[in-house]
Amino acid sequence: MLNRIESNDLFTPEQVLENRGRVAIFIDGSNLFYAALQLGIEIDYTKLLCRLTAGSRLLRSFFYTGVDRTNEKQQGFLLWMRRNGYRVISKDLVQLPDGSKKANLDVEIAVDMMALVGSYDTAVLVSGDGDLAYAVDAVSYRGVRVEVVDDAGQPAPPGQQGEVRIISDREAVGYLDDPKATAAAFRDGAFYPGDVGRLSADGLLMVDGRMDDRMDLGGMKFLPDLLEEVALAYPGVRDAAAYAAPDAQGMDTCWLAIVADSGLDRQGLAEHVAARPAMPTPRFAWTESIPRNAMGKIQRRRLREETVAALGIHR
């Protein structure tokens, strides 16, 4: 059950940067330098540190860079950085076969991030290096348990689709001024982000879709995009949207709205869809366009309502 929510536990988006606890900053200096050079801008590192800290308590700010011991200008810059709040971690540049010079400090960044993970609440990584993604994931999941649960709220076995939930002793406790959304997403000491996913045997989370989109067809749980992908693979189908609509008995059945080129072989499409295993057999609705919101998301509820109206079903 939910505990009583205090207003001080809830943050507006504007307050997020000011409520991050202890902050540790990790700056890939070489990467940042070349990015700024390419953009033609000059970085004020005093303002950068203030912005990244944003009023929170700074635990430590690291600046990682390759160094040329003979470059007096660089040595002066690094001395200034040390005197102005940065802990400089450096490594001598190595000349590569193509004549360029580089120093890779990815290991140093990853080690520092992991070594201090119990001491900070928020980590800020400034880098364009995708090789650090694994370290970021490892830090993100420290102290956090991600589960996939079935309809009874029990952990699902590896590979089985279910609802994603996140358990952490440092997560938020609700949405600001939205008790209905809070009750739906924050329950039983966990956060339910509304995702449908699966966990692999080694714990890798694969997100398949959204709970709001999942159809319940007589106990068969099904994500509509799987059916849409099958339909869109058929020649002449320009757009498709799967959704659920009730029949005369009030039971949800699967529908597939299709936008097609003239001359589409409708029977061929039906056979193409039916030939795919583990797919529900849909009824087809032929339309000129698929309704979408400003973000491009299919408006399945609207399709459902239009189908109910067209069939004359009274609910």
Claim: this prediction has a pTM higher than 0.85:
no
Q: What is the mean pLDDT of residues 88-104?
A: 84
pLDDT tier for residue 264 given thresholds of 50, 70 and 90: very high
> Coil, helix or strand for 241?
strand
- pLDDT of 299 above 60: yes
> What is the predicted pLDDT for the residue at 286?
95
Q: How far apart are the first and last CA of the chain?
A: 33
pLDDT at 20: 65
How much is the average pLDDT of 196-209? 84
Residue whose tokens read 């709040």: 85
Tokens (6 digits) for 4? 């009583």
pLDDT tens, position by position, 45-76: 999 998 888 778 899 999 999 998 888 999 99
Q: How confident is the model at residue 9 (pLDDT cuts 50, 70, 90)?
A: very low
Token pair for 228: 């849409």
At 28, the pLDDT band (50, 70, 90 cuts) reads very high
Residue 108 CA to residue 237 CA, distance in Å, equals 52
Q: How many residues does the chain have?
A: 315
Q: What confidence score (pLDDT) does residue 3 get?
A: 34
